[in-house]
Structure 1
Amino acid sequence: MSEQLSLTLPLLKLMASGEIPDFDSDFIEDEHNQRNAILYTRAMDEYPLPALLQEQLKRQEPVYLETQEHVMVHLLTSTHDILIYQYDKQVEKEDYRLPLTLSFYLLLVIVIVIFLAPFVRRLMRLSTAASKLGEGQLDVRLQVGTLWYIRDIELSFNQMASKISLLMDDIKLLAGGLSHELRTPLARVRMGLDTLVEAQDEQLRAKYESRVNQQLDDMEGLLIHMLDFARLQHSLDEIKPHRVDVTQMLSNLISNTYHGSVELNLPSQSVCINADLRYLNMAVSNIIDNAIKYGHSKCTVAVLHESNHVVVSISDDGLGIEAEKRATVFKPFVRLDRQQCAGFGIGLAFSAKIISRYHGTIAVDTCPELGGARFKLRFPIV
């Protein structure tokens, strides 16, 4: 029942009961609701109703009938006529529920599209970058956005791509270095074997056997160092870094290994970084060994504070490293002077990879006090 009908029905009942004087058929216009209403009477015989509805009227109950255009309310009057109140259905109070529901869902769809559009766009960029990476473009990277729900994925992809690129560079260096380093000892072994077959003197044969064995030992050592370097990244990834006191580590390393041959300058307070003690010892030892090998008589190690970083400076009084060659000394199989430099040129490459794994940097310049090379290892302080 509409609100207007609930207000009109009591008045209709009073009219039907005869408590309101007789009225003529009238045309009523409801200005408030802008709808047309007609009030009139009909004789019972002239307005046939089903027996069930007639019984309802005799019980003084209203009978409601509806068509597509009108609603009619029937009441039995005191003179046994039918009082009919008819009003237009089309001017019923408009129902806004459907438009409001459609508007709500439309707004919801718009919000979802606005929220998902950047996500879908970045996923497409991620898919494109992954395809390029799979095709061998190892330098492809994603521009990391500010959307929290995909930022971590973009960062992880860039880290993965950087690690793959680094591993591929290592493989190329190892493959190129291995083929180059093995060429000379293999030629010497072949020449020694050919000479050994032709030699009749036992002393000469023993001499050539010794040389061949030495070359084979060198080749074995090269392969061992190459495999160690190839496994280094995997080993570093498996070990979780922890808090390491740099000053205590250096003090123990130099006192236990170098026995006074290295001058150590430490700050008054301890400085800690995140690293693995064993690999950090290996990285620093390789650099100190080089400083002692190529220096004349003096090697110094100092620890300095620079902003939120700690710098380990390792200097010697040797000839130093030429400026144009400083960027290459941290690559594997690089030896500046092959005639005088023993080894395979992997020590500094080991150190650089370990330092990089623990978010550090390594650089080399000239020591102003000693005149030789100065290696600066820079780590973020915990």
Structure 2
Amino acid sequence: MRYLSLSLVVVVLVATIGLGWVFDFVYQQYSDPKQSPSEDKIEYAEILTKKMAVALSSSNNANAFITAWQANDGYSLQIDSINSLALPAPLLSDLRLGKSLNIESDSDLNIHYAIPNSSDVLILQIPYTIEDNKKFINRYWVTSLFYLLLIVLFLLWAKPLISRLINLRETAKAFGKGELSQRITVGKVSYISDLESEFNHMAQRIEDLVSDVKLLSTAVSHDLRTPLARIRMGLDTLSEEEEPAQRRVYEKRINAHIDDMVELVETLLAYARLDQSMLAIEKTSIDLFALTEKIIKNKQKERPAEHDKSILLEADASLAHCFAVGDNTYLKMLVNNLLLNAIQHSKTTVLVKICCRPNSLVLVVEDDGDGIPEDIKVDLFKPFVRSKANKNKGHGVGLAICKRIVQWHQGSITVEKSEQLKGAKFIVNLPSVEN
């Protein structure tokens, strides 16, 4: 919207100042400099009327002078009583004080001047000449052309704006009808590029939420049905069993299935609340290397059974002055989920690399596991998507949470095959700042 405001200011300045200067320059170039301006003619006529009025005040035959004057090139004189003029009192007062009064009509200009020592007024009638009319018409056409070009200039400015707004309206209508894949192509020169980008961001988020709802409903119907069936079968078996030791075994199994259900429900609720909680994220400068190093140390302490798996951390020299811009809690969740995923699928080694790029930090997590199966590669970052060959405990939400966190930080996350370790390789780009 800043571009819209700036372009509007530029158009207004160009239209009013630029066009005005151009027309003024052209008019001065092509107007006749030898012709006296009409203001000067009026001034001369006022002086002439005053002098004649003074002369007539001392003349004994004013009417003869008036009669003889009528033959002079259309300029006519007449004498009227000042009391017979239908004029407001202030104007009559000005006349009596010796001021001239000019009254214009469609065809002429009447200059009034009171005759000294008399109650009469001398009136000089000056008809408009063809030349004056032509000059008036020329000025009229120049003014009309100025406003016409002004309107054209504003229409040229408004045309792309109207076009983009119509495109936005049509896309919004299609999106409202359920075509959730509709997006606006943000033009390089667009007054509302910020609005279009925000619309695309909103549309993408809505599409993701709708997709998540579908996946959540599928997960609930599938993942909850299995432990419920096991619990039902366990309860039926338990009611038929009379041996105390065997009953305790069945009770433990039922409790384990209940724990799985509780864990699944908590996972569903946590993922459903993720979007709402991330609306209030507070972005600060985060030392991603120190954060990752701390998480790795905690992982090694929490999982003593996996000490045989080595977690390596590498960073380039420029990282000392490069910090990620984000929320500490969610960046910690991001790194933790990526490490947990890599540890579960690795055989012996997990490698973490952090490097600094212009305006971004790159976090790379790779392992020496079997890599990403082709059957889930496209839907890898969707919730509750798990490979059939994956025997690790979980519900397939960790990478979906990573995707959502990266999106909220205006970053990106991709996956590919690791050239070094031959397993999976996750690459995260986050906004950064130099300190």
Compute the TM-score of the two structures, normalised by the length of structure 2: 0.68
User: 1:25 pairs with 63, 68, 74, which one?
Assistant: 68
Greater displacement, 84-93 / 326-335: 84-93
CA distance in 2, matches of 1:368, 1:238: 38
C-alpha deviation, 1:50, in angstroms: 6.0
User: Does the alignment pair 1:205 with 2:256?
Assistant: no
Structure holding more helix per residue:
2
C-alpha deviation, 1:225, in angstroms: 0.7
CA distance in 2, matches of 1:257, 1:14: 116
CA distance in 2, matches of 1:244, 1:85: 90
C-alpha deviation, 1:176, in angstroms: 1.7
Q: How does 1:1-382 map to 2 (within 5 A)?
A: 2-9=42-49, 10-11=51-52, 13-14=54-55, 17=58, 25=68, 28-30=71-73, 36-38=74-76, 52=83, 87=125, 89-91=127-129, 96=136, 99=140, 103=144, 118-144=160-186, 146=189, 148=191, 150-259=192-301, 261-268=310-317, 269-270=319-320, 271-323=322-374, 325-338=376-389, 340-382=391-433
C-alpha deviation, 1:283, in angstroms: 1.5
C-alpha deviation, 1:195, in angstroms: 2.5
Q: Secondary structure of 2:414's partner?
A: strand
C-alpha deviation, 1:193, in angstroms: 2.5
C-alpha deviation, 1:223, in angstroms: 0.9
Q: Secondary structure of 1:274's partner?
A: strand
CA distance in 1, matches of 2:159, 2:199: 20
Q: Secondary structure of 1:163's partner?
A: helix
C-alpha deviation, 1:234, in angstroms: 1.7
Identity %: 31
1:262 is matched by which residue type in structure 2? I
C-alpha deviation, 1:228, in angstroms: 0.8
Tell me if the contact between 1:26 and 1:40 (Cα under 8 Å) persists in the aligned partners.
Answer: no
C-alpha deviation, 1:102, in angstroms: 7.8
1:6 is matched by which residue type in structure 2? E
Q: Secondary structure of 1:381's partner?
A: strand
C-alpha deviation, 1:373, in angstroms: 2.1
C-alpha deviation, 1:88, in angstroms: 5.2
Equivalent position of 1:33 in the other structure: none
Tell me if the contact between 1:267 and 1:304 (Cα under 8 Å) persists in the aligned partners.
Answer: yes
Tell me if the contact between 2:216 and 2:383 (Cα under 8 Å) persists in the aligned partners.
Answer: yes
Greater displacement, 237-246 / 351-360: 351-360
Deviations 1:157-185 (A, max 9, x none): 33222222222222222112222212222
Q: How many residues align?
A: 363
CA distance in 2, matches of 1:171, 1:283: 22
CA distance in 1, matches of 2:78, 2:289: 108
Q: Secondary structure of 1:25's partner?
A: helix
2:252 is matched by which residue type in structure 1? S
C-alpha deviation, 1:191, in angstroms: 2.2
CA distance in 2, matches of 1:355, 1:85: 88
CA distance in 2, matches of 1:290, 1:64: 97
Tell me if the contact between 2:382 and 2:399 (Cα under 8 Å) persists in the aligned partners.
Answer: yes
CA distance in 1, matches of 2:347, 2:424: 12
Tell me if the contact between 2:75 and 2:126 (Cα under 8 Å) persists in the aligned partners.
Answer: yes
Using a 3 Å threshold, how does the CA distance of structure 1 residues 356 and 28 change in structure 2: closer, same or farther? Answer: same
Q: Secondary structure of 2:337's partner?
A: helix
Equivalent position of 2:15 in the other structure: none
CA distance in 2, matches of 1:281, 1:73: 93
Tell which structure's C-alpha radius of gyration is larger. 1
CA RMSD between the two structures: 4.4
Q: Secondary structure of 1:363's partner?
A: strand
Deviations 1:18-77 (A, max 9, x none): 699x978365454xxxxx135699xxxxxxx76957xxxxx9x99999998675979989
Q: Secondary structure of 2:378's partner?
A: coil
CA distance in 1, matches of 2:405, 2:413: 10
Where does structure 1 lack aligned partners over 5 or more consecutive residues?
31-35, 42-48, 54-58
Q: Secondary structure of 2:224's partner?
A: helix
Using a 3 Å threshold, how does the CA distance of structure 1 residues 313 and 26 change in structure 2: closer, same or farther? Answer: closer
Using a 3 Å threshold, how does the CA distance of structure 1 residues 365 and 69 change in structure 2: closer, same or farther? Answer: closer
Deviations 1:325-370 (A, max 9, x none): 4333322212224562221111222222222222222222232332
C-alpha deviation, 1:243, in angstroms: 0.8
C-alpha deviation, 1:381, in angstroms: 2.7
CA distance in 2, matches of 1:65, 1:336: 98
Q: Secondary structure of 2:175's partner?
A: helix
